[in-house]
Chains A and B, each alone.
Chain A
Amino acid sequence: MAKVPVQFTLNGSERAEFVESGATLLTTLRDRMGDTSPKGGCHQGTCGACTVMVDGELRLSCLTLAETCEGADVRTTAGLANGEVLTPVQRAFEDAFAAQCGFCTPGMIMAATALLERNPKPDRAEVIEAISGNVCRCTGYEPIIRAVLSAARANSTSAA
């Protein structure tokens, strides 16, 4: 089958690739563009490990066709840190030991980042709601919830 060209911005850089028609954004990012930060957990849109942002909105990259991202602004966990400087969410995950095996972590961090971008001061219930599309097998979620709340506090302190 003929390949199709796709072109979009990935973490601030213009990227172009030829992909199989029907290729998902997840396989395009991982296998074509070398960004392995989104993880393939269930490949059916249930686990959230592949979560990325497309034009500022959370998307499950395993259910998103690469062709639909033409011209879009795609952000992944790999593009969050400024060199060695982590974002408040990433720092909070590190400080709170909010990862064990780490497979869910990129998706959790994208979900948390999107939450804090639209709601800088979420309460516990809002944090739970925001990560409810992301499955974690190790932590029991509590350290993740604490990390997001602590990132929110760090945000409000630095803004003040």
Chain B
Amino acid sequence: MWARWIVPALLGLVSFVTAKSSSGNSVLVILEPKLDKDNFSKFFSGLEEKGYELTFRAPKDTKPAILEYDYAQFSHVIMFAPETKSFSSDITPQSLVSLLSKNTNLLIALSPKQTPVYTLASEFSLTLPPPGTPLISHFPQRDDPATVIPVPVRPVTPNVVSSKLAPVWFSGIPFAYQNNPLLVPILNAPAESFASDGETDSGADAVVDAADKGGEGLWAGSQMGLVAGFQPVGGARATWVGGVEMFSDEFFQKELPGGGKPGNEQFAADVAAWTFQESLVLRIDSVEHHRVNETVPGQVYTTNDQLVFSAYLSKYNPVSSAWEPFSGIQDMQLEFTMLDPHIRTALPPVRGTPGKYSVTFRAPDRHGVFKFIIDYKRKGLTHLHSSTVVPLVPPRHDGYPRFLSAAWPYYVGAISTSVGFLLFSALWLAGDDRAGSAKGKTTKTE
């Protein structure tokens, strides 16, 4: 009899700690042999506590493969192989890009050494510094080498990492952003840092020269990024981290120069949560359209109809690992487009119905094949895109107003003509005195 309550209790216990991703639980960690798994035990155990299943392999192992027969085998891939120069055949820059199209999330760590991963970074609109130039900062004063830097966490993209985090320890390379709207900067370098040759500081002159040239080739300042996310078309997410030590136990516990624990643990958890599509994940559950006063969507609409368009949005709640209706977006727009938007209107949330966004508008006067387009892109949030095609037809031949008052003289004229014709014919036939009798008709003699 205790079996009756043990299962729900266990389930409740499990759900209390699980925060699963919206896109799956299987994680492949490609860990290079130089790095010890135990050095990252806190990070990995944190992931496992959340409910992820981690599988470890070395870069040169052939199994488990990330892609088999063009199917992605894992939902997420963590690449902590920043110094590996050769990988097994299934890990190539091209296959990693193709993973993103298959809704697999990537977390990739870089290092000052040049590896095949370098070519991949430039496809993500990240410019990497010359090999052997890690990030160096002489501020704040600390005992650690110049390449180990406490980076203050400023919210470049809101909501990706928790606010008010303590500075995080970082060791690795920076990268420069090119112009790509799909990039999501998460952590930028401190203003006083620069990239240069390891210990000798010999690159400082190059930095000064670059500063004089107007910033071309300047690897310095807070314009450089250390942790950057990328949101490809399709919903998957990729994050590039400038150095793998950020996730190590040592950095999780290292004390900051000004005292206090660093924010690495929380930061790493947040980055992993964002990358693995736990946080800031939205989706459009459904859209519907119909005329005002109707509920069934029409096959076609007529010009100048009053149309109602509704969208239902959900946000993924990692705590309860469920999709919940979300009404928090205030600036969503709807476009009614035929080659160019003919109507662009706000799509506000409806009070009282969580998750529903609705708007009523008048269809334009132009007939054609239109699309209801929702195209909502914000950095960090899943890109929302919905396109529904609907034809807009001109009024039917009996859809026009009839019996116009302005036309009454014409109606009178036409009717009077007909009446006149009938009267005239009657008179003619009745007054046919000449040949009427011969034809046998009854005649009235005049």
Partners in one complex: no
